[in-house]
Amino acid sequence: MNTRKLKSFYSGYGLNRILILLSLLCFTSLPVMAEIYKYQGPDGTIHFTDRPMAGNYRLLWKSGKPSSSSPYSGTKFRQNKTRMTPLIERTAKQLRLHPGLLHAIVMAESAYNPQARSHKGAQGLMQLMPATANRYGVDDSYDPLQNLEGGARYMKDLLTEFKFDLKLALAAYNAGENAVRKYGNQIPPYPETQRYVEKVLGYYKKNINGMVN
């Protein structure tokens, strides 16, 4: 866990409290009363808190016992990741993409939740907008395999268009290829897109290191 990020968005309740909660979550199988919530803010920033957040924040997952108000628990996250991994790796092999890259995009987009839906209408594992889904023949964006194949083909096309510049392809995946072209084939000056690119690259690097090690 990056403690600088924790400090930046969670100064109100204390860093030590969160670190203790995360330690309990990661290193014990005993039930704990405290819960950790993972949210994505409107600017793309990821937030970990021990209390629900009000406002325009999208809940990615919550640790502890699932509830009707927050069905995507830490347990469900791990189950989904395990279930989706063979599909991700198969899709990556078919399209000759690095599986670590697809894992990184899925993690950033939906945290492996095939039922994820953003307030903008993006759907499924790779958060396909309806127009993109239609473009790549995806009839059901909540079908994990269809979503992965559509999103991966889109990513492959973006890599080709931007001459395999991964940063530009990721920026286009987030903001649209027209936005990248508008700014002279540079990452658009949108905070959400800039954070998204760095976040996915960070996940990708960790995935590669994990596969090597």
Positions marked active-site: 109
How far is C-alpha 50 from the chain's CA centre? Answer: 20
Dihedral over Cα of 46, 200, 136, 61: its sign: negative
For residues 64 and 34, the answer to whether their CB atoms sit within 8 Å is yes
For residues 211 and 100, the answer to whether their CB atoms sit within 8 Å is yes
